Structure 1
Amino acid sequence: MTDPHQQLQGALDNLDAVFAPLAGLPVAVGGCTHCYAESDLEALAGPVHEVPDALISSVAHKVVDHWDDFPGLYRRLTPRIVRLLVADELDHGLVASRLLAAGWRDWPAAERMALEEVWHAWWRSALHSPAGGAHITEVLEALSVTAGTLVPWLAVWAETRTEAADRHLADALGYWLFEDGLADLRLGFCDELHAPPQLLPWLLSLEDGRIRADQMREIERIGYS
């Protein structure tokens, strides 16, 4: 089986290829001239691969009304934005909210499928990564908010019986349970996804031994209260 990290790189390359016709076309870009110089707008109107990373990052986070055609601009820049997101150089919840605002679910099927391929590969790569901390919750936030559901991502997590995946689960619970956050956990910059209705039943359904006893007591307290 292909290494999860190699699968992710292949999915990112495919995303570039699918969006290449759109990314290479010169377009007219209008936006807030208080925040962006004319040279920035000219760069955004040219080939996407030539746009500086710093400008891509700025557009990825900027509010929707800064642009004359926000959905068109965001769609065009998506492969560059996603690469920065996967590299942890962007705010996960904010980019997920911006993708929703850009209407990504209404894009042509090939573009949607290429982005979904990246999401699935990124999730498997993240679960197999030895790095710990709250990062796994940020990846999950980006994926679940854009998809509108936690269900497929939690299903993959349940099936991934590795030391790394279980360590990520313990780290995620440490983050979610802090100050009772799990009771009303909301994901996305605009709180688009209310997590407990999907997350709590999943946590309570996991096999014995997947969750530490002290964490399970807190989950049961919240879930059954």
Structure 2
Amino acid sequence: MTVLDALDCAFASEEPFLVTGCTYCYGEQDLAELSGPLRLIPDDLMSSVAAKVPDHWDDFPRLYRRLVPRIIRPLVTGRLHIDEELIASRLVHAGWTTWDAPLTEALRDVWSAWWRSTLYTHPGPVPVRKVLSLVTVATNSLRPWLDTWTATRTAAADTHLADLVDDVMFEFEITDLRMGFHGEYHATAELLGWLLTDMRDRVADVRLDDPFLLENLRAAARHPN
């Protein structure tokens, strides 16, 4: 909650502007509300905009940047009801890493705090795979989040680990695992290598001993993309 409050403060500098875009999907009242005070935008309208493809808007990056506080708080608390990986893809399209430093730093603080909170709480409001996918795609980096998981020796972290393994081992999805709504991040080599080395002694799943996985890991290392 502390970093979410800090996020609100950081983005308070984003002032309203005249929002224009697809008048087939959004009426004059919708555009007027999006152009007004952030706190007065209806939840259903905000959720719709959070999920829509960028070409609905004449200035998508600016609109999405302004909506970030209204999107992120319900996202991390499990109340947004939009695929978390879709939000990651939208943030990337909006170029969030190119925004002014106070804004990007506030978002990075949210990712870190959300990930730590996830590893200390089970069950959490958002499944661990969804959290991991969002922070990975948003930052274009998986290994730092895995390293944090390795260093976090809590019962919650280990239960999340078992959940993740059970999820990604279904029909051996782990052998071609892509994160992001559009599969932007190919995670097989890093995630499988991590599971078979750093975390093998922390998960009791005999499927990880299948020789096919080791061969797949070697192949993924040779052809990471």
* Shift in Å, 1:197: 2.1
Mapped pair 1:223 → 2:213:
no
Deviations 1:127-146 (A, max 9, x none): 11121798100010110000
What residue in structure 2 maps to residue 105 of structure 1? 97
Equivalent AA in structure 1 for residue 175 of structure 2: A
Matched, 1:157 2:149: yes
Which of 110, 114, 117 is equivalent to 1:122?
Answer: 114
Is it true that 1:93 corresponds to 2:85 in the alignment? yes
Of residues 166-175 and 84-93 in structure 1, the stretch that sits farther from structure 2 once superposed is 84-93
- The residue that corresponds to 1:52 in the other structure is 42
Aligned to 1:5: none
| Displacement after TM superposition at 1:166 (Å) | 0.5
Contact between 1:132 and 1:168, CA under 8 Å: does it hold in 2? no
Distance verdict in 2 for CA 1:112–1:189, change over 3 Å:
same
**Offset, 1:208:** 4.9
Q: Distance in 1 between matches of 2:206 and 2:125?
A: 18
Do the aligned partners of 2:129 and 2:164 also contact (CA within 8 Å) in 1?
A: yes
Matched, 1:74 2:74: no
Aligned partners of 1:134 and 1:171 also within 8 Å: no
> 2-side partners of 1:100 and 1:179: how far apart?
30
Match of 1:84 in 2: 74
1:168 equivalent in alignment to 2:154: no
The answer for the alignment partner of 1:4 in structure 2 is none
Q: With structure 2 as the length reference, what TM-score do the two structures score? A: 0.91
Write out aligned runs for 1:8-47 (5 A).
9-22=1-14, 25-47=15-37
Q: Which runs of 4+ in 1 moved over 3 A?
A: 218-222
2 CA distance for matches of 1:80 and 1:176?
31
How far apart in 1 are the matches of 2:125 and 2:43? 26
Residue type of the alignment partner of 1:42: A
Deviation of the 1:99 alpha carbon = 0.3
Equivalents in 1 of 2:169, 2:176: separation in Å? 10
| Same amino acid, percent of matched pairs | 47
Contact 1:134-1:175 at 8 Å conserved across structures: no
Checking the alignment, whether the CA contact within 8 Å between 2:76 and 2:126 is kept in structure 1 is no
Task: Answer yes or no: is the 8 Å Cα contact 1:133–1:172 preserved in 2.
Answer: no
Describe the shift of the 1:114–1:57 C-alpha distance in structure 2 as closer, same or farther (beyond 3 A): same
Residue 111 of structure 1 aligns to a residue whose secondary structure is helix
Q: Which moved more, 1:133-142 or 1:191-200?
A: 133-142
- List runs of 5+ in structure 2 lacking aligned partners: 220-225
SS of alignment partner, residue 46 of structure 1: coil
* Partner-residue secondary structure (3-state), 1:26: coil
Structure 2 letter corresponding to 1:78: V
Amino acid at match of 1:72: R
Q: Could you say if the C-alpha distance between residues 173 and 68 of structure 1 is closer, same or farther in structure 2, counting changes exceeding 3 Å?
A: same
RMSD: 1.7
Does residue 1:194 correspond to 2:186, yes or no?
Answer: yes
Residue identity in the other structure for 1:144:
T
TM-score (norm 1): 0.91
Change (3 A) 1:153 1:16: same
